[in-house]
Amino acid sequence: MTTYLLKRLTIALITLVLASMVVFAVLEIIPGDPARLMLGMNASADQVELLRNQMGLNAPVALRYLHWAGGLLSLDFGRSYTYSVPVIDLVRERIVVSLPLALIALALSTVIAIPVGLFSAGRHGRAGDTIAMGAAQLGVAVPNFWFALMLIYLFAVWLRLVPAGGFPGWSAGVWPALKSLVLPAIALALPQAAILARVTRSALIDVLNEDYIRTARAKGLPYRAVLWRHALRNAMIPVLTILGLQFAFLLAGTIIIENVFYLPGLGRLVFQAITQRDLIVVESVVMLLVAAVIAVNLLVDLSYAVVDPRLRSRQ
């Protein structure tokens, strides 16, 4: 088990270093001079050159990489070119919106998908399964912003239960803040739940054909008990894989939903930074997301070992 853990940890760290190099290199070769952008079109070449020196943009690449990476380790992401505030402040402001949103959406998606998957797999090929999977197909096909609009119409405009958009901040109290995250979380969760339900179903159907399911039935366990006690845990590995991928997406890929609900999240921050060539913000946020994805993958790998004892004893 410790060997498995150490191995995964090493792989995660190596991935992180390689990813940081790639992020740095990509932004190096993208055209656009941050100094020129900050000073505007009217600045003279000398002024730009001066600023480039101040910002350290003229130092050798390797040196700049080390400087940047070293900063990341001490949570010093540098200063934003456009806002002239430390990047960490910008990120902190946004992550308190994006992280809870992603977590709520993920929890919702799991809570919807697993029972639907179990239901469908238990009725494989019969009417209930067809209907559930038809609904899931619809959930995958319909874009989440359309769901978002429908939800706003129903719950905010018509029933007036929750605000239609905006984020009051956590300082306004936990409940109002949560209320403004409910609709975006549902809008994000539905398509994810549809995908996850399909994965759960097909993993379960594979498992239900295994011999040990028959053994469990021969013990006298009712079908439903066999499904929950024997099939589900064996079907968890593909489900956990998809969950890991979905979390990464929910953390950063939510720009459309953030725009629909007017939420100040990470997605919008990156989007604005890209349009303004605020490279240091882009780099930092991308690195943060990379780190989050790697951490989640590590967590998923470790949960494999929790689910499957064979992975624990294998080297």
207 and 213 Cβ atoms separated by less than 8 Å: yes
Of 15, 234, 241, 272, the one binding another protein (CB under 8 A) is 234
Q: Does 218 bind another protein (CB under 8 A)?
A: yes
Q: Which of 25, 81, 51 is nearest to 272 (CA)?
A: 81
Q: Which is nearer to another protein, 10 or 53 (CB)?
A: 10
133 and 118 Cβ atoms separated by less than 8 Å: no
283, with CB counted inside 10 A (0-12, 13-18, 19+), is buried
Total residues at interface with another protein (CB under 8 A):
26
Of 161, 216, 266, 288, the one binding another protein (CB under 8 A) is 216
Of 221, 245, 274, 295, the one binding another protein (CB under 8 A) is 221
For tokens 């706003």, the residue is: 152
241 and 300 Cβ atoms separated by less than 8 Å: yes
Of 146, 153, 170, 212, the one binding another protein (CB under 8 A) is 212
Tell the smallest beta-carbon distance from residue 289 to another protein (Å).
31
Of 2, 42, 44, 84, the one binding another protein (CB under 8 A) is 2
Cα gap 136→112, rounded to integer Å: 11
Q: Which is nearer to another protein, 137 or 313 (CB)?
A: 313
Choose the stretch contacting another protein; rule: CB under 8 A; options: 2-10, 12-20, 139-147, 289-297. 2-10
Q: Does 92 bind another protein (CB under 8 A)?
A: no
Cα gap 33→282, rounded to integer Å: 14
Cα gap 226→234, rounded to integer Å: 11
Q: Which of 82, 267, 260, 279 is nearest to 183 (CA)?
A: 260
Q: Does 127 bind another protein (CB under 8 A)?
A: no
- Where do the DSSP E strands lie in 49-135? none
Choose the stretch contacting another protein; rule: CB under 8 A; options: 52-60, 185-193, 221-229, 284-292. 221-229
Tell the smallest beta-carbon distance from residue 127 to another protein (Å).
13
Tell the smallest beta-carbon distance from residue 105 to another protein (Å).
28
Choose the stretch contacting another protein; rule: CB under 8 A; options: 71-79, 91-99, 190-198, 216-224. 216-224
> Under 8 Å CB-to-CB from 60, ≥6 apart: which residues?
none
Choose the stretch contacting another protein; rule: CB under 8 A; options: 78-86, 99-107, 244-252, 305-313. 305-313
Choose the stretch contacting another protein; rule: CB under 8 A; options: 267-275, 284-292, 296-304, 306-314. 306-314
177 and 168 Cβ atoms separated by less than 8 Å: yes
Choose the stretch contacting another protein; rule: CB under 8 A; options: 35-43, 56-64, 92-100, 302-310. 302-310
Cα gap 293→246, rounded to integer Å: 10
> Under 8 Å CB-to-CB from 182, ≥6 apart: which residues?
104, 162
Residues contributing to the site for another protein (CB under 8 A): 2-3, 6, 210-212, 214-222, 225, 229-230, 233-234, 307-310, 313, 315
